Chain A
Amino acid sequence: MTELSEIILSILLLIDLALVASSRMLPCIRLAALHGVLIGLFPLALWFSKNDTVPHLEIVVVALIGVLVKGVLLPYLLRMAMYHAKVKRELEPLIGYAGSLAVVVALSGLAFYFWIRGGVTPAGSPILAAPVAFTSMIAGLFIVIARKKALTQVIGFLIFENGITVFGLGMAVECGLLVELGILLDVLVLVFVMGIAMFHINREFSHIDADRLTHLNEVEEDETDDSGESEVKA
């Protein structure tokens, strides 16, 4: 029996894997946007798999705002940041694409194995929901850790956060309308602030490689101040 919610979950899984393996920024942003749209629609799909009636107004509102924020506004902000920072692709990731894919697939396989053996899914929810959520979280965290560009890290964070949302929806956690809108608002402002930060980082250092942001640390203290002062002068 294949339901709409299961189809959505399968596509989410594929997007996670595609994101881990792709290097160009624009497709990454588009994939993240698609991810966001599907996450926004997921509560509606869940509703239709459980009931035949018209969904509550609350669910429709959250779904609509979710699609708007995660599918339209966030990708728009990311694209603006991309154009301002003039970055097209992730060069030299810390871990190669094939390696990344292997790691994420392996971890995702573990998540599926353990969940199907020992997990408890509430009645009416697809059994795929939790493992797919874990895969999204793993893929997102992996992107944050293993990629250098600040922009890719933001995309990774978004995927991570989407994974948490899928988990909550799949396990039928009720947060309430206010909290769900609050979470969406937080994520929106977060990406906005991060976009501005990226713009400034790019202007200051002429790159947005987060792994080269190493002026502040405990070991090379003497170098810290020298480089700091030279930057202020420049």
Chain B
Amino acid sequence: MISLFLILLPLAGLLLVWASGKCLKLHVAVINITALLHCAGTAVLWFLPELDDIAPGRVTELLGVDFLSLTVLSVVSFLNLLSSIQTIKYFPMVRQHYMTNAEKFLSPQLVAICLLGFLSSMTLVTVSRNFGLLWVAMEATTLASAPLIIFRRSGNSLEAMWKYILICSVGIGFALFGTMLLAIAGEGSHAGMDMLLLSQADLHPEWFKAAFVFMLAGYGTKMGLAPFQSWMPDAYSEAPGVLSVLSSGALLACSFLGVARVLEIAPDSVRSFCTDLMLVLGLISLALAAFFIVRQNDYKRMLAYSSMEHMGLVSIMWALGLQYVALLHIIIHALLKVVLFMTADNIQLACSTQKISNISGLLGVIKRNGINYILAVLLLCGMPPSPLFFTEMTLIGKNVWLGAVVLVLLFVVFAGMTYHALRMTMGKRSACTADAGEVKKLERLSNIPTVVLVIVLLTGLLLAAGVVSGELAVR
């Protein structure tokens, strides 16, 4: 019952933080120890899967893991570990920054509580084997992350939080309706995933279609798919980087898991309907994101639209049946978003602005952050040897016409993102509001992003070596 342990562990940490008062060091310590133990538990699940494994045909009532959930759980756990380590230096730094500027901000205790609650609810999303429980957990992620958006306590962040919580809750409400429809589509009117899987062939096709539409709309809202994405840029531009990292990397993967779970039990007769729907939504997301990225003047919003673009790509991949490629894409996207959102936070602390047009010459101001930023943007756009290059190549090679459309859109995204990133990093030095001491601290905050970049680059090189040696073997 390791999965239960992984859910309860952050809750125990949460209680500890809540009871411990205002000691910042203790909060950070609790967050980090929880993150480490969580990672360890996830690793144990990988190596000893029989502890929580789901054998085909076995009915687990509520909790259980399989390959898909373990992958997403690992993303959640690893990202949480990275952002927890970042908080060690980030919390005191940000506190000082806001205190000197006499700005209001959320108390670190509440931030710690929300982060731990967020971790627990995301874990529950990944390990739940019941669509009802999945819904409960998904709504809990919204509730746990919403207070973090008003970190800066400004009017804008309140607005972003209100939009986030209202749009996501109504969207997720549709997913609850879809869950009910899904239960009706099954014989026993029960929302357990394994029960539904067992009776996969007998699922009522019309009810299932209706259920899939509503669940795709619901979890698609949370995932940032095209017509339902309006909360995303607002929330990511106002939230602190620590939350954006988790939200963009881990939460989107969790929401995608919700959609993938429904598709998993689709009976053969309606599967093509479902995949077509995902394909269309994915393409619309990609196109809209490309449009908004090109004309963007806020680097955090740009990153939000880039998340939307990649979720669109993942949906397209999944719809085409490229499951493993899509999972690799999710993982690498999550890692690169760690680099980008953490760096974006540092840029914001250094320049006190979120506008691209007000920033230039970052390489002269905060050199290491600037290098990380430009490298991560290039890798995120699929510049080889980025692993995303290989996943996107596979996607494009799968279907010629679709591939051509995707390629054009990817080119637009590439042009837009690199243009903005180059404008920010190169050129004359712009005004930097941070003093020398702060700049030094900000440079130190770039350590984790650098490590993550190295991991991504190594993965890409390994993949490249594999592809090249594979092709040599073929010849």
Contact = CB atoms under 8 A, between A and B. Distances in A.
Interface of A: 122, 137, 141, 144, 150, 153, 157, 160-161, 164, 167-168, 171-176, 178-180, 182-183, 185-186, 189-190, 193-194, 196-197, 200-201, 204-205, 210, 213-216, 218, 221, 224-225, 227-228, 231-232
Given A157-B166, A168-B180, A201-B158, A176 B132 contact: yes
B161 A174 contact: no
A231 B157 CA distance: 11
Interface in B154-183: 154-156, 158-163, 165-166, 169-170, 173, 176-177, 180, 183
Interface stretch (B85-93, B184-192, B278-286): B184-192
A225 B355 contact: yes
Nearest to A192: B143
A174 B237 CA distance: 40
Contacts of A197: 146, 150, 158, 161-162, 165
Contact of B158 (A174, A182, A189, A204): A204
A153 B166 contact: yes
A213 B170 contact: no
B292 interface: yes
Given A144-B170, A183-B176, A172 B189 contact: yes
A161 B136 contact: no
Given A168-B180, A183-B176, A190-B169, A213 B136 contact: no
B162 A178 contact: no
Interface of B: 61-62, 103, 130, 132-133, 135-136, 139-140, 142-143, 146-147, 150, 153-156, 158-163, 165-166, 169-170, 173, 176-177, 180, 183-184, 188-191, 233-234, 237-238, 292, 295, 297-298, 354-355
Nearest to A169: B180
B165 A194 contact: yes
A215 B155 contact: yes
A231 B133 CA distance: 41
A154 to B, nearest CB: 8
A218 to B, nearest CB: 7
Contacts of B142: 190
A179 B132 contact: yes
B173 A182 contact: no
Contacts of A213: 158-159, 162-163
Contacts of A175: 132, 183, 191
Contacts of B170: 141, 144, 157, 160
Contacts of B61: 176
A201 B136 contact: no
A176 B130 contact: yes
B160 A216 contact: yes
B156 A216 contact: yes
B133 A178 contact: yes
A214 B163 CA distance: 10
Across chains A and B, which 10 residue pairs bring their CB atoms closest together, nearest first?
Answer: A182-B136, A179-B132, A231-B155, A213-B159, A186-B139, A173-B183, A175-B132, A168-B180, A216-B234, A228-B156
29 contacts: A157-B173, A160-B170, A161-B176, A164-B177, A164-B180, A168-B183, A173-B180, A173-B191, A174-B190, A175-B132, A175-B183, A175-B191, A176-B61, A176-B62, A180-B132, A186-B139, A186-B140, A189-B140, A190-B165, A193-B143, A197-B165, A200-B150, A204-B154, A204-B155, A213-B159, A216-B233, A218-B233, A225-B355, A231-B156
Most B-side CB within 10 Å, residue of A173, A204, A221, A225: A173
Contact of A190 (B139, B163, B183): B139
B180 A171 contact: yes
Nearest to A161: B173
Contacts of A174: 183, 188-191
A228 B433 CA distance: 18
Given A189-B143, A197-B158, A227-B155, 4 more contacts: A171-B184, A175-B191, A216-B238, A224-B156
Contacts of B132: 175-176, 179-180, 182-183
A214 B154 CA distance: 14
